[in-house]
């Protein structure tokens, strides 16, 4: 399904979007990737959503990526005798391992690993950061704190510990079970929560065993500090601004977002900007101007994808939310400033033949009247390298592997077309010309760029570039066997 934009849209599925009809409507409205939140719903529910997505894909003959988002460890306080308590600024409060019901002076924090990592001066944040406490004294089973920002604390509220790296694995027992289930089900991407260090990603990759690509969610200060190492072992990145905005000052998040996007672009790995992009559309058919500007900013920065969470999963206007995001993207990408920003922010270290091939393809496309870049790819690497260049013309990624086409649904600017296995480059050129015409990118009088690796069907062999006519008669009359 041809898109009129290059950035991709990720839509989360939930109670408002759990039927075949709604999933199909969302895809037709602009959703390229569907996110399955493993924090909600049983394995049976997830299986039904997966089956519906694959049926939509089959019926529309349009590759769709499925992203399974693992929950990650959840740190929560215990329960209170009165259900909740009001905490005031300047008062003291104690966290400990005592399972007795909490009071206005203390509560159980059933996570000994937190106490092991805490030090004097560290902060504990409760209820999405609404309550802030500073540690004044701590031991192996307690932390005495002073309240710096008060509020209502109640049963099972979440706790964030921004100042330390916790001795916790990113994968809980639930996550391990969910990972195995999702990988066996056949999802294309696995999003890993609570990433603190590259070892967290490597553990998930080992368990996944090549069945899905690994996307690391950056939602903790420790992940920002170790970002280069995490990016190196990840297939993609999600800038999860929700928890990141809780654990860091809110004013620090926009610069971090910009910096991480640029690093992902330079590495040629897809990056999603997520959380609260059109949040008002959960209850309103129209977004705020600030939300539209937020989506536009992510697109101007060169993000591969922007994501809807509750807007499409549980909101009253899921189709309108996707449509709005689609329209914002089309408008931004038509702006001449967008092209200027993409080209001025290009920062790529080229060291291989493939790097040179895709750079040449982009440069030729900018100086000649070329309608599209068609790249034949087995693993998806060639298409990702072309996308890294952020060319002005569309990218047609041609592959014989359905899994590759699905994963590329998350990569900027790629339009995936299935093709049979090839043996000769001339056959590839003919197939590329046919695809460009069939998808409406070019006519018989136009030219396209074709990149491929010879021999075919081998990953990492991009070594050839051809400017070719879209008229098959000219291809047959000019190309040698």
3-state secondary structure 35-51: EEECCCCCHHHHHHHHH
pLDDT for 1 equals 76
The sign of the CA dihedral 441, 439, 411, 289 is positive
Q: What span, in angstroms and rounded, lies between the C-alpha atoms of 186 and 406?
A: 11
Q: What span, in angstroms and rounded, lies between the C-alpha atoms of 331 and 342?
A: 15
pTM, 2 dp: 0.93
Of 3, 54, 74, 76, catalytic: 76
Phi, psi dihedral angles at 175 (to 5 degrees): -65, -40
pLDDT for 425 equals 85
Residue with tokens 């009253």: 316
Q: What span, in angstroms and rounded, lies between the C-alpha atoms of 110 and 99?
A: 8
Q: What span, in angstroms and rounded, lies between the C-alpha atoms of 318 and 336?
A: 30
Determine the length of the chain: 481
For residue 323, indicate whether it is catalytic: no
pLDDT for 151 equals 95
pLDDT for 424 equals 83
Q: Which helix (H) or strand (E) holds 218?
A: strand 213-218
Domains (range + CATH), the chain: 8-72+170-332 (3.20.20.60), 84-160 (2.40.33.10), 353-478 (3.40.1380.20)
Residue with tokens 């080992």: 206
The sign of the CA dihedral 212, 232, 303, 451 is negative
Of 35, 157, 362, 406, catalytic: 35
- SS3 state at 294: helix
Q: What span, in angstroms and rounded, lies between the C-alpha atoms of 114 and 126?
A: 14
CA-nearest of 241, 219, 87 to 162 is 219
- SS3 state at 9: strand
For residue 132, indicate whether it is catalytic: no
For residue 444, indicate whether it is catalytic: no
Question: CB atoms < 10 A from the CB of 300, how many?
Answer: 19
Which runs of E-coded beta strand occur in 235-384?
236-240, 271-274, 305-308, 370-376
CA-nearest of 216, 414, 390, 308 to 26 is 308
Whether the link from the prior residue into 455 is cis, omega within 30° of 0, is yes
For residue 76, indicate whether it is catalytic: yes
Of 12, 275, 404, 462, catalytic: 275
The tens-digit pLDDT sequence of the chain (481 residues) is: 789 999 999 999 999 999 999 999 999 999 999 999 999 989 999 999 999 999 999 999 999 999 999 999 989 999 999 999 999 999 999 999 999 999 999 999 999 999 999 999 999 999 989 999 999 999 999 999 999 999 999 999 999 999 888 998 889 999 999 999 999 999 999 999 999 999 999 999 999 999 999 999 999 999 999 999 999 999 999 999 988 999 999 999 999 999 999 999 999 999 999 999 999 999 999 999 999 999 999 999 999 999 999 999 999 999 999 999 999 999 999 999 999 999 998 877 778 888 999 999 999 998 888 999 999 999 999 999 999 999 999 999 999 999 999 999 999 999 999 998 887 888 889 999 999 999 999 999 999 999 988 777 666 678 899 999 998 877 777 665 5
Give the 3-state secondary structure percentages of the chain, helix then strand then coil, rounded to 5.
40, 25, 35
Contact 374, 450 (CB under 8 A): yes
CA-nearest of 63, 18, 56 to 40 is 18
- SS3 state at 95: strand
């Amino acid at each position: 399904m041809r898109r009129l934009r290059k950035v991709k849209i990720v839509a989360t599925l939930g109670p408002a979007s759990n039927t075949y009809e709604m999933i199909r409507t969302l895809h037709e409205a602009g959703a390229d990737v569907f996110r399955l939140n493993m924090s909600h719903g049983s394995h049976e529910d997830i299986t039904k959503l997966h089956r519906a997505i694959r049926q939509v894909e089959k019926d529309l003959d349009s590759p769709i990526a499925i992203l399974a988002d693992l929950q990650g460890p959840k740190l929560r306080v215990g329960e209170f005798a009165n259900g909740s308590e009001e905490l005031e600024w300047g008062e003291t409060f104690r966290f400990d391992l005592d399972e007795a019901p909490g009071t206005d002076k203390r509560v159980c924090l059933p996570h000994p690993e937190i106490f092991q990592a805490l030090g004097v001066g560290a902060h504990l944040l409760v209820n999405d950061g609404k309550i802030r406490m500073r540690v004044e004294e701590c031991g192996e089973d307690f932390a005495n704190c002073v309240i710096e920002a008060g509020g209502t604390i109640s049963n099972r509220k979440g706790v964030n510990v921004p100042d330390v790296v916790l001795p916790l694995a990113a994968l809980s027992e639930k996550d391990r079970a969910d990972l195995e289930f999702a990988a066996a089900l056949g999802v294309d991407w696995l999003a890993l929560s609570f990433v603190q260090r590259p070892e967290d990603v490597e553990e998930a990759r080992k368990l996944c065993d090549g069945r899905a690509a690994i996307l690391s969610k950056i939602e903790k200060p420790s992940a920002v500090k170790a970002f280069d190492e995490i990016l190196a072992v990840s297939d993609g990145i999600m800038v999860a601004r929700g928890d990141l905005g809780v654990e860091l000052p809110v004013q620090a998040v926009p610069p971090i977002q910009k910096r991480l996007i640029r690093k992902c672009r330079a590495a040629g790995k897809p990056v999603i900007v997520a959380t609260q992009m059109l949040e008002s559309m959960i209850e309103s058919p129209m977004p705020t101007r600030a939300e539209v500007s937020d989506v536009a900013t992510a697109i101007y920065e060169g993000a591969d994808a922007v994501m809807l969470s509750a807007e499409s999963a549980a909101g009253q206007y899921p189709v309108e939310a996707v449509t709005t995001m689609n329209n914002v993207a089309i408008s931004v990408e038509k702006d001449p400033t967008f092209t200027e920003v993409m080209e001025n922010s290009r920062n790529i270290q080229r060291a291989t033949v493939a790097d040179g091939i895709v750079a040449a393809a982009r440069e030729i496309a900018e100086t000649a009247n070329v309608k599209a870049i068609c790249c034949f790819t087995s693993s998806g690497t060639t298409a990702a390298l072309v996308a890294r260049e952020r060319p002005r013309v569309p990218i047609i990624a041609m592959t014989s592997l359905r899994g590759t086409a699905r994963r590329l649904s998350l990569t900027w600017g790629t339009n995936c077309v299935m093709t049979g296995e090839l043996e000769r480059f001339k056959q590839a050129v003919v197939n590329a010309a046919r695809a460009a015409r069939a998808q409406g990118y070019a006519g018989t009088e136009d030219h396209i760029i074709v990149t491929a690796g010879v021999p075919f069907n081998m990953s990492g062999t991009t070594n050839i570039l051809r400017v070719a006519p879209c008229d098959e008669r000219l291809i047959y009359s000019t190309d040698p066997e």
